[in-house]
Amino acid sequence: MLVTDIPEDAWGEGFERTVPQQLVHKEAAHEVLLTDAVRVRPGLFYLAVRQPAGHGLYRPDAAGGTDPTLFVEMLRQTAIYLSHRFYGVPLEHPFVFCGLDFDIPAPGAYGAEDESVVLEVRCRETREPTPKRAVMSLEAQLVSPGGVRATGSVSWQAVDRASYAAVRRRGAGGALPPAPGTAISAVQPGARVMAPELVGRERSMDVVVAEPGLPDEPSKSEEPGGTWLLHVDQSHPVFFDHPSDHVPGMLLLEAVRQASRAALGPAPAPLYEWTMSGGGVKFAAYCELAAPTRLVVRQSGASGTADEVTLTVEAVQNGRTVASGSARWQAAPAAAATAVRPGVEEVFA
């Protein structure tokens, strides 16, 4: 846990600007979540963050909890922004994310004390940088006058284009990966995209998992688990804000969330809903757009209760695990049908 000692004048002071899109690798201005950054001392930064009102993807869940992947996207943008602005990483360097984790201490709805939030970040170079490569990590916590709202960490590399091309060729078995933006469909015959309500989503366009055409043998265990397929829609305006030659990491995180939610089934009590309170993903290799990907869900070995459970998800492609993740779920009272989200943009609960 980081120790937060943010001066009172940091709340709302000097945090008016929206950072340039190119510094967070976003093409759509409305997808930029960072508004400003201040370096307090080497390695320590305060950043102002925002949530666009009425965002189509990052929405409260059925229990009223704020979408935790919004916080992860804040961290992803922070890693890129700090690398370019404060650590001299060239704009043309591709980024390779290695892993991330996050924890939401008390999932819940928006409150008045959350109207001003600051992202406190400790960032470091984990290897001596070279003109071709930077290896970095950060730890962060999102704080408001009411307390800590989320904590997390990210590790990544930024490499020059020649190094990136070499890595991509090795990952693709020596072949060149498809050019970014190439239309590719890797769909198993008979696969059926999941209904959004079964994976905690409201819109069909946001669903990234599908049921296999031939279901696996029914499990005799009462524990949640199973196998799903990754569903990739390259027209999605958030996951593919800009063209990519591989499955983006944020889409894989969403797959961990949705596949684990599908495995859970209904909440353990009436008028309760599952809400995600933490998790993470480690990326072992690039997930290729042109190959089918299985999502294998298992219950974690960690002890759980009827209203709290941790599931692990492996993304398996061509016989190897390209990413492994976990998702921690809690059962919480369902949000009231009349609940109204406050009209605050600089907020995260």
Instruction: Read off the pTM.
Output: 0.87
Mean pLDDT confidence for 335-348: 42
What integer pLDDT is reported at residue 174 of this predicted model? 62
Which DSSP string do the residues of 123-181 spell out, in sequence order? EEESS--BTTEEEEEEEEEEEETTEEEEEEEEEEEEE-HHHHHHHHHHHTTTSPPPPTT
> Closest Cα to residue 154, out of 264, 250, 223?
250
The percent helix, strand, coil of the chain (3-state, each to 5) is 20, 30, 50
pLDDT at 323 over 90: yes
Please report the pLDDT score of residue 59 as a whole number: 87
Residues pairing with 312 in the sheet:
298, 326
Nearest to 156, CA basis, from 243, 210, 85, 77? 77
Place of tokens 């949000």: 335
Reported as type and span, the H/E element at residue 268 is none
- Residue 345 banded pLDDT, cuts 50, 70, 90: very low
For residues 328-341, give the mean pLDDT: 70
Contact partners, residue 162, CB within 8 Å, separation at least 6:
132
Judge whether 208 and 231 are in contact, CB under 8 Å: yes
Average pLDDT over every residue of 37-62: 88
Burial of 267 (0-12, 13-18, 19+ CB in 10 A): buried
- 114: which DSSP letter? G
If DSSP codes are grouped into helix, strand and coil, which group holds residue 191?
A: coil
DSSP for 6-29, written as a single string? --GGGSSSS--PPPPGGGTT-SSG
User: How many Å apart are CA 34 and CA 12, to the nearest integer?
Assistant: 13
Report whether pLDDT(173) > 70. no
Looking at residue 307, what is its pLDDT? 82
How many residues are recorded in the chain?
349
What is the C-alpha to C-alpha distance for residues 121 and 244, in angstroms, rounded to an integer? 28
Structure confidence at residue 37 as a pLDDT band (50, 70, 90): very high
- Measured between alpha carbons, how far is 153 from 282 in angstroms, rounded to an integer? 12
Looking at residue 212, its amino acid is: P
CA distance 240 to 253: 14
DSSP 197: G
- The reported pLDDT for the residue numbered 61 is 86
Type of residue at 46:
Y
**Closest-CA residue to 251 (of 107, 79, 72, 63):** 72
Instruction: Give Cα separations from 156 to 41, 83, 123, 137 (angstroms).
Output: 22, 10, 11, 6
**Range from 87-91, 229-233, 334-338 carrying the lowest mean pLDDT:** 334-338
pLDDT at 340 over 50: no
- Say whether pLDDT at 281 is over 60: yes
pLDDT score, position 245: 92
Place of tokens 């970040």: 121
The sign of the torsion formed by the CA atoms of 34, 62, 340, 8 equals negative
